[in-house]
Chains A and B, each alone.
Chain A
Amino acid sequence: MPTKKELLDLQFIEARHKLIDLAAFLDRIDRHPGADDFRYAALQAAIPILLSERPDRARGVLDALSDHSHEPIPKAAFQGALGAAQPG
């Protein structure tokens, strides 16, 4: 198993790139006209999980973006998925 230093050597630049890309996406949404929607709010709510000290941050982000209801729905409004659960 590689050490922390070896992992940083291997993947730091890629992680840095992804972090800057996320920051730029937030800037872009702020800069553009119109209203955002529940997806932006879901993303903002999930971001603090990155700074937590829990050992399963990836799971935490996935949980935060998931539909937590329990019952099957009567009918689907559309076939695809949006990436974050719609409130209510």
Chain B
Amino acid sequence: MYIEPHAHMVSRTTDDYEKLAIAGCEVLCEPAFWAGFDRSSPAGFFDYFRQLTDYEPKRAAKYGIKHYCWLCINPKEADDPVFAREVMALIPQFLDCPTVLGIGEIGLNKNTRNELAIFEEHVQLAVDRDLPILIHTPHLEDKLKGTRLILESLAGFSKLDRAKVIVDHVEEHTIAQVLDAGYWAGMTLYPHSKCSPNRAIDMLEVYGSERLWMNSACDWGVSDPLAVPRCILEMKKRQHTAAAIEQIVYHNPRKFLSQSPRFV
């Protein structure tokens, strides 16, 4: 039994829900993100938010999986601030849906000024409504700088509860600064561009499991919805106990996500 705290199921087939259920996935959380192409209008996002809040929970339920989501305009499509604010204006009407956990995955993509401005407007929305926040950090060469910019920006929000913020896609060069600042950190098991199971286990061994979770972030790209169970297998090979495994793949995500009253 495990929780998949970050998966983009709108990009996956129903076969993947079946595989997740067979592998023991009990709960799945889907942050709003890029769908592999830029949407041409806010109406495209309106339909996307309907899909996240209405359709995907029903599709997941057919396989006994509880589906939750996070809402935002993602950083890849947030570099046009006029467009981004039009999409952001749609979000409040969805925030009372019973499976919406908070604001995410917001963050940075290429570390632009406009991305940072829209990121901060999302953080303010979450602070105003006392919602948890899920943060995307940039890819590859942009991750270190983006993580620093995000942490510097968050430090300016005096009313932000750091325990309600998870900074996702950490790697060996960003994990310490995220944890040291008091936030949760997510390790993404993603081929080529993020973290392998063995590297994630290394970070668990070095930094401990207190404020960490792991996820597949499976999406439209080359990715693996079963990455978390595969990492469980690697943890077993490396002699991690059943209790330690359960802590990282079940109790930790449950602890963080339970900060939303919607998560039951």
- In the complex, residue of chain B having the shortest beta-carbon distance to the beta carbon of A85: B141
Q: Using Cβ atoms and an 8 Å threshold, which residues of chain B touch A11?
A: 198
**Looking at B79, B115, B138, B145, which has the most chain A CB atoms within 10 Å of its CB?**
B145
Cβ–Cβ < 8 Å partners of B239 in chain A? 1-2, 6
Q: How far is the CA of A56 from the CA of B49 in the complex (A)?
A: 41
Which residues between 131 and 145 of chain B lie within 8 Å of chain A, taking CB atoms? 138-145
The dominant DSSP class at the B interface is helix
With both chains docked as a complex, state the minimum distance between the C-beta of B189 and any C-beta of chain A, in angstroms. Answer: 15
| Interface mask (B120-151 → A, CB under 8 Å = 1, otherwise 0) | 00000000000000000011111111001100
A73 CA to B114 CA in the complex, in Å?
Answer: 9
A56 to B203, CA, bound (A): 11
Chain B count of residues within 8 A CB distance of the other chain:
31
Verify if B246 is at the interface (C-beta below 8 Å from A).
Answer: no
B15 sits at the interface (CB 8 A): no
A6 to B15, CA, bound (A): 37
B171 contacts the other chain (Cβ, under 8 Å)? yes
| B237 touches A (CB below 8 Å) | yes
Return chain B residues, CB-CB under 8 Å to A6.
Answer: 239
Which residue of B113, B116, B139 contacts A80 across the interface (Cβ within 8 Å)? B139
Any chain A CB within 8 A of the CB of B76?
yes
User: Contact between B109 and A65 (Cβ–Cβ < 8 Å)?
Assistant: no
* B172 contacts A59, C-beta separation under 8 Å: yes
Q: Number of A interface residues at 8 Å Cβ cutoff, please give it.
A: 30
Query: Given the complex, which residues of A lie within 8 Å of B110, measured CB to CB?
Result: 73, 76, 78-79
Residues of B within 8 A of A80 (CB): 139
Contact between chains at B111 and A72 (CB < 8 Å): yes
Please, how many angstroms separate the alpha-carbon atoms of A55 and B110 in the complex?
30
Contacts A1-B205, A2-B239, A59-B173 given: A66-B109 contact, CB under 8 Å?
A: no
Is B86's beta carbon under 8 Å from chain A?
Answer: no
- In the complex, whether B199 has a CB less than 8 A from a CB of chain A is yes
CB-contacts of B168-207 with A (<8 A): 171-173, 193, 198-199, 202, 205
B143 touches A66 (CB 8 A): yes
- Are the C-beta atoms of A81 and B140 separated by less than 8 Å? yes
Q: Is A69 interfacial (CB-CB < 8 Å)?
A: yes
Contact B172 A56, beta carbon cutoff 8 Å: yes
Interface centre among B110, B111, B138, B237, by most chain A C-beta atoms within 10 angstroms, is: B110
Tell me the B residues contacting A by CB distance below 8 Å: 76, 79, 109-116, 138-145, 148-149, 171-173, 193, 198-199, 202, 205, 237-239
Would you mind naming 12 contact pairs between A and B with Cβ atoms under 8 Å apart?
Answer: A1-B205, A1-B239, A10-B237, A58-B172, A62-B143, A63-B173, A68-B145, A69-B145, A72-B116, A75-B112, A81-B139, A81-B193
Taking Cβ atoms with an 8 Å cutoff, the residues of A that contact B are 1-2, 6-7, 10-11, 56, 58-59, 62-63, 65-70, 72-76, 78-85
**10 nearest A-B residue pairs (beta carbon):** A76-B110, A81-B140, A66-B144, A62-B173, A59-B172, A81-B139, A58-B172, A85-B141, A72-B113, A59-B173
